[in-house]
A and B are shown apart, each in its own frame.
Chain A
Amino acid sequence: MTDTPDSSSDPHAPKAQNVNLLRKFLNGTEIDTRLLGMFGALALIWLGFHFYGLIFKGFGAMLTPRNLWNLSVQTSSIGIMATGMVLVIVTRNIDLSVGALVGVTGMTMGILQAEIFPQYIGLGHPMMWVITAICGIALGTLIGSFHGWLIAYRDIPAFIVTLGGLLVWRGTAFLANNGKTISPLDDTFKLLGGGPYGTIGATGSWIVGLLACAVVIFMLYNGRRKRSVHGFAKRPMWGELTVGGLSCGMIIGAVLLVNAYPWPKGIVKQYAAANDITVPEGGLFISHGFAIPVLILLTVGILMTILVNRTRFGRNVFAIGGNPEAAALAGINVKWMTLKIFALMGALAGLAGVVASARLNSATNALGLLDELYVIAAAVIGGTSLAGGVGTIYGAILGALVMQSLQSGMVLIGFDTSIQQIVVGSVLVFAVYLDNLYRKNAK
């Protein structure tokens, strides 16, 4: 064998050099192309809707702090569930019941905080929100465990169990309060859904942002140190700096963005009156900052990423997805794992129920309707393979953001619900097709 020719002797040198540069960038930073593709899709959607608005309506509403802030809040409950759906799909299962679980847990929490708990601890008790949320999450966990038990220990396919669950729990949510809506909810509970008061303000957001940057830098440093210990190949220094710079840049950009969105005048007036502040002539600029549900999503995302990448549980989940027989032969209790995965999915659906009902400040039996489809779509668009064994948490959260961006972009430019459905459906199918192409090329 002779040496493979390098790019200098290549007749298509300029093009090859570009390709090499990109390859070198990707290798050096270890950014995978799928992540890049997701950011590309997101940028495309955001710019597309913005300029569509700008050109045809005279106003681009997509890329405003207000809209992007709303987008972050709207993404929360789907994003929370999508992280759990990754594990479900990775192990070659599916959960069609998550939307109905949001409904039934939301409804139950509504009844608990409006009718049951006040009898014992009084309306507006400061602990009301915690107790209610814990009950909701516990109920989700319980139902998820039951589904998991039917699937793992009674060998009923997940598709059937959770399809049944979808109907059963949606029906239960209706019966629970005879179809009546419960509103308003507890004042503190409500903050979990966002809204002007359900935010951490400018200072809080800076603290969160800078903390996040510190964590990113620490993780890069620690990763490098670990590779040194074992003498493995390290990223080139410029690669580390690029990754660190990009990540911190995005975090700080997000902080600037959420801080650029002020409270509406009415809220400011109300707040000023309540706190004896005089509003100056030009009005008072009070930033929203990060919304609490977004922080919940980020926390869930981080914890789930640790669970998936750094624990035995996560490793075993992927082993089961890659080869269930091999996992069983390696001594992994596949049934028990399956039950736990569905329990976790149920818990996350309960948490999403908290966020969704708090955001609406009401519990209705239609809460979370069709969420299962958005959640599955988010996971799949985020690179989770329905064949099992492949998927990432960050991908699923980005997938949720992509889905929500599409949805909200279409609302902004005034598309009907029917057209929205057509577009979302087509995009899902197209995304999976693109994913297939990507996988084939990657091989």
Chain B
Amino acid sequence: MTNERTGTPLVEMRDISISFGGIRAVDGVSLDLYPGEVVGLLGHNGAGKSTLIKCLSGAYQADSGKFYVDGQPATINSPRDSRDLNIETIYQTLALADNLDAASNLFLGREITTPLGFLDDGQMEAETRKIIARLNPNFKKFKEPVSALSGGQRQSVAIARAVYFNARILIMDEPTAALGVHETEMVASLIKELKNQGLGIFLISHDTREMMDLCDRVAVMKNGQLIGNERVEDVTEDDILSMIIMGKNPKAAA
């Protein structure tokens, strides 16, 4: 296989825990990600997948645990810290400002400005058109606020935002949940392309088959804990399902 896990991992999360009012949403999870690798995160609703990756994206601050990027310890206290480490995130909620158009959302917090410091809306719209054309060629509503877009179109905007800024680490929390067959395929091929460029990708999805297809490794969570972390070629779909449902790793038991 091309992805021998050698060298230093792109990201390493060590023993991450976070609680919300007594509930341990993430409980001592350690997980790493290598360049050119896609790691799938699976688990039932409320397993703690989104919470874990939100600690990495800076949306939450972990109660305990450490992050390493390129082998160096990294402090992630805010979304900005995470972005500065070239980590881009597509949130499950998409995190779009509904009242703004696609370009404003894509460049939110990183607006392109003219030499005088004013917004360069023309440039931003042109860039937005370019990147979205790669994801969703039928996308036309560049002038409307994103509240006027369909669920899938909104998702395209969120994906475009994460991809545009040359991330090295991409977090995708159910990026295709609202997409049609064709658009899902385009995202799948995009993931493969990015992976070939050497990005590391955390992918969250409930579609086990899709995950077997796209990922190099799958990690399964249940009740905040990491149940299993296996290379896809070593497990069957049934193994994964039983990890999700029973919370036991047949591999570890064997």
Contacts and interface: CB of A to CB of B under 8 A. Distances in A.
Give the interface size bracket for A toward B.
Answer: 20 to 34
B119 A310 contact: yes
Interface in A300-341: 306, 309-312, 315-316, 318-319, 321-323, 325-332
Contacts of B8: none
Nearest to A387: B99
A361 B224 CA distance: 68
Majority DSSP secondary structure for residues of A touching B: helix
Interface stretch (A147-155, A225-233, A279-287, A289-297): A225-233
B104 interface: yes
Interface in A330-369: 330-332
Nearest to B148: A443
Interface of B: 57, 59, 78-80, 83, 89, 91, 93-100, 104-105, 108-111, 113, 117-119, 122-123, 125-126, 145, 148
B132 to A, nearest CB: 15
Given A312-B119, A326-B108, A318 B100 contact: yes
Contacts of A319: 97, 100, 104, 108-109
A4 B57 CA distance: 47
A390 interface: yes
Contact of A329 (B59, B104, B110): B59
Interface in A368-396: 389-390
A311 B114 CA distance: 10
12 contacts: A310-B118, A311-B119, A312-B111, A315-B104, A318-B100, A318-B104, A321-B97, A323-B98, A326-B94, A329-B59, A329-B95, A390-B99
A342 to B, nearest CB: 21
A227 B121 CA distance: 10
Given A316-B109, A319-B108, A226 B99 contact: no
Contacts, number: 83
A332 B99 contact: no
B108 A332 contact: yes
Given A232-B122, A311-B119, A330 B99 contact: no
Contacts of B109: 316, 319, 327, 330-332
Contact of B99 (A227, A232, A316, A318): A318
Contact of B126 (A230, A310, A326, A328): A230
